[in-house]
Structures are given as structure tokens and as C-alpha cells.
Chains A and B, each alone.
Chain A
């Protein structure tokens, strides 16, 4: 068991003039992923940035928060005064803005986690907070009150990765995608690892997580995928026997702009398959019989994906 990090003292203990202690300081780095499509109503983002403002005010505990904003978002909204005001007076006030051109959300994660990592130390923890959820609702407020548990679990219990799990009905599109798509494909390409992942979480694609410094470094150094990066991290964590925790953060859903239509659901299953294929090839390319095994798995994978597509069409088709 890794030696547990010493938690930094509360702000009130940091008295001016006192000799600094030699205990390693560990800080939590919040990284907020700004929604790619700006919602018309700012109430959810306002709720989120109230939390960010509180974090920004506790510098002994938290590093300056980082917000990653896609340049597409900026350019599509630059003429909008409400957006400009919110960006300048709220987002930039309480966090360091990272403006980046990104092909997908996971690239925003990469930019934000990478930026925070460069400012962090070996005892630090990095906490990803997706921006496109309904934080302005009563349930969203409750989730915001619980989210801080994720990095604290990593710190207090010496974990490498803590996945935040949101509650979803069995018929929710996220649940359907994971049950019939993600896990079916994981069991095809990485059966043992897939089983181990499911012992911890039903949300292997969760956007809520916290990760320790050393594991983040390993993850950043490897190939980063444009999508389904949480699943890739979980696979890496399970393979390397990292310490994983799962914590329930509550009932929350994507904002309408991020809602999962059938097209989006099918796309997510296809992406998952592409990532798993690439990962499998990377891991087995030195095996002499890799191509033969790959072709066999590819056939099984296609069957799993088609079955998932049929189920998703049956259950989500009415939402088109």
C-alpha cells in the first residue's frame, strides 16, 4: 500500500510569519470542461461557477481552477454580449482559461489535464468537472455538493483513480449504450479487464473522475484518444493493478444540447469499438499470431456492435 499523502492544512492555519512545514503539500486541481455548444440559459453554468468560485477562494487546498474552452465555442459566440460577459466576468475571474482548438471533448480533457499537470506536484490530485450538466437544478446543486468527494477519496485513501457515477434509469440512453454497447465490446476485446472494470462501475465512460499525479503522468504519456478516454484510463488502471474507487455523485443529466439521440448513441458505440480495436492492436502487435486473432475478434466485435445497434434502434428510435 502506497504511503498516504499528507493533507495540506486548512487556510486558517496558514498564518503569516510562521515557518513553513516540510510536509509535502498536496493540492487538488479542478479542471472544468466548458460546454462546446453554449446553452442559451446560463443558470446551469452559473451554478457550476459558484462552486468554482468557492474552490478558487481556497488556495491552500485547491490550485487555481482551469477552464478549457474550445475555440469553436468562442468564435460561434463572440458577437454575443451575454457570452462575453459570462466568459470575462465569471469564467476568467474564477479560473485560468485555456483556449484550444479541439477535435472532441477528450482533447479538451487532454489540454486541461495536461496544463494542470504541468503546474502540479507529485502529491497532487486532478479533478475533471464536465460543464454540460444541469447543475442549476435542485438535483444538480446536490451533485455539486458531492463532487468534491472524488478528489478527496484519491487523497485520503491513496487511490490512483476515482470514478464518479451518476444515477441513470435502466432505460436511459447512457445506461443502454453502456450495457449493450460498451460492456459487450469490452467483453469481446478485453474480457478479463472488462469484468474487473464492472466490479467497480457501471459507467466506464463517466466524465466525472479524479486522478492522482503519478497515474495521470502515465496516462498523459501514452496515446490519447479523441473519445472514450475514461474507458481507456480504466483499462490501463486495471491492467496495471492501480487502486480504483467508484463514488456515487447523484442524479444528474446532460444539458439538452448534449442529449443522446439515436444517432449519437450509435456513434458512441462505434467510437468505443474503434478505440478498443486500436488499443488491442497496440497491446498485441508484437505477438506472432496477432493478425489471425484480431480478425476473429473483429468478427465477434461486429456482431456485438450490430446487436447493440438493433437494441438501441428499438429502444431509442422513437426519440428521433
Chain B
């Protein structure tokens, strides 16, 4: 067994950004072990994806192509990649940790009698894979001890996409054997939930509220702070799940990605699903009662305290400063 196989994912006909991060992780792993890197692009027509990939890979690119892979299904991707892995015998398989990978890679791993080491944030010599546990309050170092290939998915933003190498990889085609009856689910076309009227992505100032606010009745407290600051109001997922603020104000992997000058997080513990949506912010301020909350790991300024006392005081201080 040899080599590092990186599985690429595309969005609207282009290689997705997190795939380049996965290949950066793959290159890092390959370099430390002295292994070649192979990239796989998957679909019904993969020529342009392969060409785009080949310019940034040092090893080779495989087009995993079949008419039944045109639209993503867990069955189709699991069958195709199982066959590819059996044919290529990679030592490591690296995936971007996306909703799609979460949907099929655990099944693929189980079919290989392996477990996917998911959502990895760093790779050290060994190799040792670090991932977060307990909503980011703990990090764990994992080693692969199985006899088959080691499957790893990497977290969005954990590896730098521009660290990916440049190259001109050789391109080949792999045609898996898939029967229509093996695809048991029938997927529909993706659609948008609601027409997004609020574009948080271009907001310069954001005040965001999390479950620390406790009740819907307390939202106006944070709204007043946002208004005083002239900021957009946003929220973490639980607030929108509860219907306390509309879904289009949600920041995170299932909501909007934002990069304001100031992101003021109120009562947000900082689960990774939230952090991936806001860690590009220029300045992060966190107000939280728990000094160990993960949000403080990426905050520039922090106030450890009861938000029900701190927020009104801050609103008043901002109003006074603006006069």
C-alpha cells in the first residue's frame, strides 16, 4: 500500500475551496511520509475539474467518471470510491469535511473495516491526527491502528489552501462498475430555503447572540446593543432552531459566512459549526460567563461575566461614546 489519495469535491462545476485545503493537508502528510499524492475528481463529466486540479497537484489526477455519478448519492459515491481504493491501494485517503463527506465517508470506511478520522484540525508526525471533542472543549490525538487504508477528513479552514503545491499532474480515467438498482435513494435538485433578504456577508459590524441569552424574551437586550453600535444582529444555530430569530440571521456552517470588521459574540460558546462561519472576522469580541468557552480561543477581546449585566452596561457606554 502506498500513496495519499485526496478526494475532491466541486461546487457549481468548480473545485470547492475546502478541497484545496484537503489537498494541502494531503501534501503535508505525503511529504512527511515520502509518499506520492493522487487526487480524485468524481462525476458524470469531469474533464474540466480534472484540468483545474492537475495544475495544483504534484502526483496524478484520476477522473472517477460514470453517468450514475452525475448527481451525488451516498450509494453511488461509496461504490465508486470503494472500487477506486481497492484498485489504487492508498495508505491514506484525505477528504474535505463537508456535509457530503459526512453523508458517505463513514459508510465507505465501514465497508473497508475502518473508521473515518473526521474533522481533523492538524496533522503531526506519526502521523497523529488532532480533532476536537465535546463541542471544542477538548482536543484529542488519534492514531490509525487498522490494517486497511487510513481515512481522514479535514476541517474547513484548518489547512491553508495557498499552501497547496503547483504542478502539472498526469490525468487518467477510472470507470467504476455501478448498476442503477444499486442507487437506492432518489435525490431532488437542491433549492434555497427562503429568499435571503439579509446579507450578513457584507456587514461591517455584527452583534451575534447565542444560547446564553436563555429565552426569546431576552433578545431585545442584544438588539439594543446592535442598534446602539449600528450593527447587524446575527445568531448561532440554536437561537434560530428555536425560532427566536429568523433562519437568515444564522451564522455558521449551515447559515451565512461573515467577515466583518467587528464580530461581537454574546453568550456564544463557539461550537465549531459556528466558528467556521465567523473566524474570518477582523476583530472578535466575546462576552461569556464560561472562561473556558471555545469562543475565547479565537477572540481578540473577552469579557468573562454575566451577559445580563455586561450587555446593558456596554449598550450605555457605546451610546455615551457616540454622543
A and B together in one complex = no
B residues whose Cβ falls under 8 Å from a Cβ of A: none
